[in-house]
Chains A and B, each alone.
Chain A
Amino acid sequence: MIVYLLCFALFLVGLYGVLTKRNLVKIILSLGIMGYAANLFLILVGYRNESQYPIIAEGVKQAPMVDPLPQALVLTSIVIELGTTALLVVLALRLFEKYNTFDITKIRRLSG
């Protein structure tokens, strides 16, 4: 149970960062932390107590295995997050070129 709570705490750290930070780079980092929390949660969902890695090989004693599907899902979601983060970093760089600042309170030409 305590692991799930810690995972939730990690998610909240990320959410807090997205909502309160003013620096574009810090917002991107906080988004990354939120993503890690979701991935960690998926891994925790697949974990079984006292079980093996899910590979069937000769000479290895057959025992209960952890669920391999969430691990595959996490790989996919890590790749997706890599893409999103790269896109966000490029957008932040272009915003810096245009406004000469990373502070979101100064990047406000859209309104209403």
Chain B
Amino acid sequence: MILPYFIIIPLLTTFLVTLIAGKKDNWAIVLSFISVTSLLVLSLFAFITMMNDTVSYELSTWEIPYGIILVMDALTSFTLVMVSIISFTSLIFSIQYIRHLSMNWRYYALFMLLVTGMNGVIVTGDLFNLFVFMEIALFSAFALVAYGSKAEEYEAAFKYAVMGSVSSVIILIGIAVIYSATSTLTMAKIAEAIPDLSRELVFWVGILFIAGFGLKAAVMPFHTWLPDAHSSAPAPISSMLSGVLIKALGIYVLIRFFFNVLGAPQFFTQIFLVLGTVSIIAGVFLAIGQWDMKRLLAYHSISQIGYILLGLGIATPLGILGAVFHLFNHAIFKSLLFYNAGSVELAIGTRDLRKMGNLNKILPVTSQTSMIASLSISGIPPFNGFFSKLIIIIAAIQAGLPIYAVFAIAGSLLTLASFMKVQRYGFRGENMIDQVTNKIGWRMNSAMIILAVLCLLTSLMIVPGIKEVTLDPVVKVISENSEYMQLVLGR
């Protein structure tokens, strides 16, 4: 049974890093590298072998109404693969980057704690257990945002911590309301009890959860913490936060709760549609005026999360396919762009696009991979971003929502414009910088190259034949929403 190991391995590594590593940082690096590699192997293995199965694991063999269960289905293992890929490359990238910042084993302990929290949120089948793992992930995220110990970083971390705590309280109240009505915390049992509940109660629980998890996912009216937190964190952490944390804590839980537990009520998918479209347009307009590269990327995260929500809001199988595909693609190209920003910052000591220039001569790998990632995020074929956005737009038209399709296309064009700005002023700018302060080592380069190759390779997931074994099981889990409850309860 491999399910509990997704929590045990990173948690044990955190413990060992703090215990053994002490003052020897190399041990911390080795231990966490072994840990993320084994997580990557395990999650790929789980995704390949347990394609259409739903497996549940009862902690300490307490049966369902009394104990906590862990559940694994296609959506779980798909999200785990995403988290593992990004944490693997982020760790490789960190080795040089963090050594430059401050040589410290505490970083690796916090990093593994962040992975623990995210994996826990993804595998758990219990609502309160989800809350606890979410808090673990948030703790380490707050601490990692403040890791560079500059004034701006403390400011961003404080803002993030206040917003995160408010949303956690809202989620806790939502859990209390749903517990009072159903007397259970297991998500499958709640799903079973939902048809008997009054509509008002479902409405209020849904509103509380959209506010709480929407804040974690940085959907438009709740986005204010994101640009500060994601641009102040060290670059590998920015890519973890922007690439996977807002999805594991925000979007994944929204999918699980609204589609598998509440059964995708029309009212809430409408809210997803509107929030998604507002995020797409407003996020991209805020992004286009930025000159700080990481801040620009952070605003783009809001806009791309909007695409995922739009796909979910359409709620046809095609729309969900687009949303799930974009979820994966965004993790890859946004993380790559944050690595690029981090390596430029390390090499020439600035994030301001106006002060960059001549980078394709002095930083060839960074500049080439950033070109691939920029083309990917703006939706240029044959890169992965094109296919997922195309599917979402086609799904919107098929579902009879042409206005939303127009907004999605407009958002994509504006994204292209803002990344042309990044390339024109940043990487191919006029400033003739001819020497770098820090050399970019092979580890940072290889992390960027892995993700750049994946930008091309993941577009293969849409090819018929590969699509049936990768994306279709995930879409099936989400769109056949009551199946989850039946499979977990074993009926």
- Chain A contacts to B: CB under 8 angstroms: 11, 14-15, 18, 24, 27, 31, 34-35, 37-38, 41-42, 45, 67, 69-70, 73, 76-77, 80, 83-84, 87-88, 91-92, 94-95, 98-99, 107-110, 112
Closest chain A residue, CB of each to CB of B134: A80
Partner of A41, one of B139, B168, B176, B183: B176
Partner of A87, one of B143, B155, B169, B172: B143
B252 interface residue, CB < 8 Å from A? no
Partner of A91, one of B154, B289, B295: B154
A-B contact pairs, 28 of them (CB 8 A): A11-B169, A18-B166, A24-B158, A31-B162, A35-B165, A38-B172, A38-B176, A42-B172, A45-B176, A69-B179, A70-B179, A77-B131, A80-B132, A84-B139, A84-B161, A84-B168, A87-B139, A87-B142, A87-B161, A88-B162, A91-B158, A91-B161, A94-B149, A99-B151, A108-B155, A110-B155, A110-B156, A112-B295
CB distance A34 to B169 under 8 Å?
yes
Residues of A within 8 A of B173 (CB): 11, 38, 41
B481 interface residue, CB < 8 Å from A? no
B146 interface residue, CB < 8 Å from A? yes
- Chain B contacts to A: CB under 8 angstroms: 128, 131-132, 135, 139, 142-143, 146, 149, 151-152, 154-158, 161-162, 165-166, 168-169, 172-173, 175-176, 179-180, 183, 185, 227-228, 232, 289-290, 292, 295
Sorted from nearest, which 6 A-B pairs have the closest CB atoms?
A98-B151, A45-B180, A38-B172, A91-B158, A42-B176, A34-B169
Residues of B within 8 A of A112 (CB): 227, 289-290, 292, 295
CB distance B142 to A80 under 8 Å?
no
Measured in the bound complex, the distance between the Cα atoms of B128 and A80 in whole Å is 12
CB distance B176 to A98 under 8 Å?
no
Least distance between A104 CB and chain B CB atoms (Å): 9
CB distance B135 to A110 under 8 Å?
no
Measured in the bound complex, the distance between the Cα atoms of B155 and A35 in whole Å is 22
Residues of B within 8 A of A73 (CB): 128, 175, 179
Main secondary structure of the interface of A (DSSP, over half): helix
Closest chain A residue, CB of each to CB of B138: A84
Closest chain B residue, CB of each to CB of A84: B165
Residues of A within 8 A of B154 (CB): 91, 94-95, 98
Measured in the bound complex, the distance between the Cα atoms of B139 and A40 in whole Å is 23
Closest chain A residue, CB of each to CB of B135: A80
Residues of A within 8 A of B166 (CB): 15, 18, 31, 34
CB distance A107 to B143 under 8 Å?
no
Measured in the bound complex, the distance between the Cα atoms of B399 and A59 in whole Å is 66
CB distance B152 to A110 under 8 Å?
yes
Closest chain B residue, CB of each to CB of A110: B228
**Given A35-B169, A76-B128, A76-B132: A70 and B161 interface contact (C-beta under 8 Å):** no
Residues of A within 8 A of B292 (CB): 112
Measured in the bound complex, the distance between the Cα atoms of B169 and A18 in whole Å is 12
